[in-house]
Amino acid sequence: MTTEAGSTAAAADDVKQRDEYFDALVAAGECVEPRDWLPDGYRRMVLRQIAQHAHSEIIGMQPEGSWLTRAPSLHRKAALLAKVQDEAGHGLYLYAAAETLGVTRAELLDALHNGHQRSSDTFNQPALTWADTGAIAWLTDGAAVINQAPLCRTSYGPYARAMQRVCQEETFHVRQGYDLLWSLCRGTREQQEMAQDAVDRWWLPAVALMFGPPDTVEGGDGDTRAAALGAAVSRRSMAWGIKRHTNDELRQRFIDNVVPQAERLGVTLPDPAIRWNEERGHYDFTPVTWQVYRTAVAAGAQCGRQRLAHRVAAHEAGAWVRAAADAYAARPVTERQEP
Amino acid sequence: MSREAAGGQTPWEVFIRPRRGLSHQHVGSVHGADADMAIANARDLYTRRGDPLSIWVVRSDAVRASSPDEKDPFFSNGADKPYRYPQMYVPLSEAGDHDE
């Protein structure tokens, strides 16, 4: 009896100590590493974010990937191929980071395929013309850079290290997309129109979906609960150092970056409210409300189902490759052909 | 760390020597059914840019690590031993601690 009570008290002490140690680590801005003890809530939150991020990288290969065979020159094709390959690589960095939290990549892919986990809604739009590959890279990758730069200092070490690699590559993605649009904007009238049309199509996915819903509790009654919940998750995530800035802060940063780039390019951003605000030192723009956000998500629903179906089909069609690799690895060494 | 590995999913840790004069450094991990496939995957994933000199792959479950639970006693040999640092001794010149 005494022993039992004693060990329960000791266990409670241990838990308290672990909690305090963890909180102190995060408060000091130190990285949390895989073999540290983690609170369940932290593990779930980091895992959910890394998994969603990884899924978005590989689903995000599809809109641009569909133009690989139709690139207008060998140079553009090589650049696009490298870009799409990078996205696959980003997915792999992130799946590896997620695996340090005690799941397997196969489990994560299953969760994506059966709908238990989702990818970003950003890529649930069709890439209708060649110019879309430029607009996607300039706008959504440009938004990703803003989102991801602070994640290089996120509190979970493997995630931060994956993001450092990702960020080194994103700059190339944005630049090649901008360069592609630059050429179109200096081409024929049809090419200029094609560039403008693609920018119109990808503006809202970049501004609304890449940064997520607004942080503020605004909009209709139906939105209040979701907004309050979202804001609470956001605060928790920031307290744990997973997330470093609010969605709206990052969105503003993106707008401030991209408006002068659009002027230089010669395209019109499809938001009449964009103008410089001397007082704030920022560009004003149409706020992304919950309603705007929901509309943008809904617009991609059908294309989103196609993206997922395509992903599942590719995975199933590749089953024989994985089986062959296993069979080859299982063969006795003597049966293998020397290179 | 050891998990049921199927579908070529055995995890490997990847180490790269980025250039002459540096040791191999851990860069991340890959999956591969065997060492050759792990090396090929590591090349595709971690060396798409730059000109690295060599890659090592080591099965993740072959890495023996100190346990974080043992942390304090295990690393106590390095703690609280100020006499292991040169600053604890009389400097060799007026310049103070910057001498050799």
Count of C-beta atoms within a 10 Å radius of residue A173: 26
Chain A: closest CA distance from residue B89 (Å)? 32
Round to the nearest angstrom and report the end-to-end CA distance of chain A.
67
Yes or no, beta carbons of B30 and A96 under 8 Å apart: yes
| pLDDT at residue A73 greater than cutoff 80 | yes
What whole-number distance in Å separates Cα of residue A22 and Cα of residue A28? 10
Tens of pLDDT, residues A123-148? 999 999 999 999 999 999 999 999 99
* Residue in chain A nearest B30 by alpha carbon: A96
pLDDT tens for A237-284 read: 888 888 888 899 999 999 999 999 999 999 999 999 999 999 999 999
CA B6, CA A103: separation in Å to the nearest integer? 14
Residues of B with a Cβ under 8 Å from any A Cβ are 3, 6-11, 28-34, 37, 44-45, 48-49, 65, 67-68
pLDDT at A179 over 80: yes
- Take residue A303 and report the two structure tokens written for it: 């294309």
Nearest CA-CA distance, residue A11 and chain B, Å: 14
Cβ atoms of B66 and B74 within 8 Å: the answer is: yes
Q: Residue B33 and residue A85: Cβ atoms within 8 Å?
A: no
Task: Tell me which residue in B9, B44, B49 faces A105 most closely, judged by beta carbons.
Answer: B9
Task: Walk along chain B (100 residues) and give the pLDDT tens digit of each residue.
Answer: 334 456 668 999 999 998 889 999 999 999 999 999 999 999 999 999 877 889 999 999 999 888 766 566 777 777 788 888 888 899 998 876 555 5
Domain annotation for chain A: domains and CATH numbers: 38-215+226-335 (1.20.1260.10)
B91: closest CA of chain A, how far (Å) = 34
Q: Identify the closest residue of chain A to B34 by CA–CA distance.
A: A329
Alpha helix ranges (H) inside chain A = 2-27, 40-59, 61-65, 74-99, 105-113, 130-135, 142-148, 157-185, 189-204, 221-239, 247-265, 290-299, 301-317, 319-330
User: Average of pLDDT values for A320-329?
Assistant: 91
pLDDT on residue B51 = 78
Residue percentage of chain A with pLDDT more than 90: 72
Task: Tell me which residue of A288, A253, A257 sits closest to A147, measured CA to CA.
Answer: A253
- Please, are residues B12 and B32 in contact by the beta-carbon 8 Å criterion? yes
Task: Give me the percent of chain A exceeding a pLDDT of 70.
Answer: 91
Cβ distance of A325 and B33 shorter than 8 Å: yes
**CA distances from residue A83 to A65, A169, A211, B41 in whole angstroms, order as listed:** 9, 9, 22, 17
Among A156, A153, A148, A59, CA closest to A101 = A156
ipTM above threshold 0.90? no
Length of chain A: 339
pLDDT at A223 over 70: no
For residue A3, count CB atoms less than 10 angstroms from its CB and return exposed for 0-12, middle for 13-18, buried for 19 or more: exposed
Cα A301–chain centre separation: 18
Q: For residue B1, give the chain A residue with the closest CA.
A: A102
Chain A positions with Cβ closer than 8 Å to B: 35-37, 82, 85-86, 89, 92-93, 96, 99, 104-106, 161-162, 165, 169, 319, 322-323, 325-326, 328-329
Is A86 strand, coil or helix? Answer: helix
Q: What are the CA-CA distances from residue B21 to residues A269, B14, B25 (Å)? A: 50, 19, 12
Helix (H), strand (E) at residue B27: strand B25-31
Q: For chain B, which domains are there? A: 11-79 (3.10.20.520)
Which residue from A minimizes the CA distance to B6?
Answer: A326
Give the separation between CA A261 and CA A143, rounded to whole angstroms: 13
